[in-house]
Structure 1
């Protein structure tokens, strides 16, 4: 099974699109700025090119791991040690029968949502507790990542 780097890149870039919508002042941007104490009129302007670039890099890292969660065939690949050349004929037969099973946007979005809900949200929530952030902050930021994981999972799983 080969890694689809185009799918991973598109999934990573999708986080920027979701972020532009999610953090728009007419959606959750105003709430998020209030909860973080950020005031765009105060202080120096951030280097947005660097921020977006590193954000896409981090999102690519997330996408790389999400493929193993959303594409079940990676489990079969893991069972043979990751080297298709040394696999027994049963692996080839299995992949011929099930190589495209559950490879849809809907299925990937389901697993992405579950990963966001049960991995990203608890990490964000735990950090928010120690940083003394509000529950509203946790919901806005956690919700963003749940939606991102869902879309990323859908893209990754659907692109064969």
Structure 2
């Protein structure tokens, strides 16, 4: 299997679009700022180009992980695929001939993306929030954002063949 870097980049960029909507003052932005202890003055003092570049980089890392969660064929490649194009096992070629595009849909990827958010992102965010003494509003706003992001990212990655 080859990595679809274009799908991963688009999935990573989708987090910015979702963030612009999610953290808009008319949606959750005002509540999030209050619960996180941020003010307009603190927000204006940030180096936004660095923040956006690093957030895209981190989202790309998440997308790299999500491709292995959402595309089942990666598991077959790991078990019977082999190391390179010349080392492909006949069992892998037969598997891909029968199931190469099975479960490669937006809906399937979105389901696995959501499950990854529920069982991976939410516990990490909630644990950090507990130790940081943040409110449950803060926790659910951030976890909700990542649940939507993982869901959309999983859908993009899984369906883009």
Q: Same fold (TM over 0.5)?
A: yes
Counterparts in 2 of 1:61 and 1:88: CA distance versus 1, 3 Å: same
Unaligned runs of 5+ in 2: none
1:81-122 C-alpha deviation (Å, 9 max, x unpaired) = 641432321110110110100001100000000000110000
The equivalent of 1:15 in structure 2 is 15
In structure 2, the CA distance between the partners of 1:130 and 1:44, relative to structure 1 (3 Å rule), is: same
**Mapping of residues 70-89 of structure 1, within 5 Å:** 70-80=70-80, 82-84=82-84, 85-89=86-90
How far, CA to CA, are the matches of 1:14 and 1:128 in structure 2? Answer: 25
TM, length-normalised to structure 2: 0.96
Corresponding residue for 1:32?
32
Aligned to 1:118: 119
Partner residue, 1:61: 61
- Contact in 1 for aligned 2:70/2:154 (Cα 8 Å): yes
TM value normalised by structure 1: 0.96
Mapped to 1, the partners of 2:80 and 2:152 lie a distance apart of 29
How many residue pairs match? The answer is 160
Pairs within 5 Å for 1:123-134: 123-134=124-135
CA RMSD, Structure 1 to Structure 2 (Å): 1.3
How far apart, in 2, do the equivalents of 1:88 and 1:42 lie? 57
Q: Which runs of 5+ in 1 are unaligned?
A: none
